[in-house]
Amino acid sequence: MTPRPRLVLLVVLLLLVLVMVGATPSFGQIRSTEPLVIGTKEAPPFAFKREDGTWDGISFALMRRLSNDLGFDYRIEERTLDGLFTGLEEGQLDLSIAALTVTPEREERVDFSHPYHTSGLAIATRSESGLEASTVFLFLKRLFSIQFFQGIAALGIVLLATGGLIWWLERRKNPEQFGGSTARGLGSGFWWSAVTMTTVGYGDKAPRSLGGRILTLFWMFAGLILASSFTAAITTALTV
C-alpha cells in the first residue's frame, strides 16, 4: 500500500471515530430534550413518599446529588416491584430506584450500578463471660481440641510408618546411620522422616540404597502436601 491510500484510510477511520463519539448521548443532551423517567416504590428508608407527595429517602438523596452534579432533570413514576424491571425492559423507564437487590436473575434482565448500601446483617450469639471469654483461653481451647490431637496422632503414625520403611531399606547398606537395634533404627527412621517432611533436612541421615533414595524423593513431595494440609487443619480449627 502506497503512502497516499494509507493517509486516506487513516482519515476515514478518524471520521468514523468522531461520528461514533458524537452519536453517544450525554447527560447534557438528555437534559436539553426531556427529563429522565425514574420508577420507584415504597421501600423505607430508601424510598418513601412524604405527606406532601414528594419522594425522599436514601436512594432519592443520591439521585438529587447526581442530578445537581451532572445537570439533568427527572420525573418519578410509582410502580410495583416487577413493574420497575418490566418498565426498564420495555423502555418506559430510564432508571429504577428503591431497595433493589442485585440477583443473577435480575442481572439477566437489566443492568445495575455499583451497590451503594451494605446491610451489615449478622447472626447474634450468646456472649460468654469470665474465663470463657478470654482470648487466650479460647485460642488454647481451639488449638488443643480433639481434632488437633487426632491430627497429631495421624501424622505420627505416618511418620513412623515412613521411618520404618526407610530403616528397613537402609539398615544393611547404611548401618552407620540406620543400624543398631530395632528401636534405635526406628528412631533414626522417624527422625529422618520428620526432618525430610518439614524440608529441614539436617543431613545427618541420608539414604544410600536405590530404594531409600526413591523413597526419599517421594517423601519430599508427599511431605509438602502433608505439611500444607496439617497447617490448613490447624488454621481451620483456630478460625471456625
Rg (CA), the chain: 36
Tell whether domain 130-239 is in CATH 1.10.287.70: yes
Evaluate whether 40 touches 96 at the Cβ level (below 8 Å). yes
Could you tell me which residue, 70 or 4, shows the higher pLDDT? Answer: 70
Average pLDDT for 63-69: 90
Mean pLDDT score, 64-85: 92
pLDDT in tens, 80-126: 999 999 999 999 999 999 889 899 999 999 999 888 888 778 888 77
pLDDT on residue 117 = 84
Residue 127 vs residue 63, higher pLDDT: 63
User: What are the start and end residues of each CATH 3.40.190.10 domain in the chain?
Assistant: 28-121
Grid coordinates representing 219 are: 517423601
Tens of pLDDT along 11-41? 445 444 444 444 444 444 445 468 999 999 9
Start-end of CATH 1.10.287.70 domains in the chain: 130-239
CATH number of 28-121: 3.40.190.10
The answer to whether 208 and 173 are in contact (CB under 8 A) is yes
Q: What's the pLDDT at 86?
A: 94
β-bridge partners, 101: none
The predicted model scores a pTM of 0.42
In this prediction, residue 194 carries a pLDDT of: 86
Sheet of 74-78: strand order equals: 74-78, 36-40, 95-96
Single out the residue of 14, 84, 5 nearest to residue 42, CA to CA: 84
Residues 168-220: pLDDT tens digits? 888 888 888 888 888 888 888 888 888 888 776 666 778 888 888 888 888 88
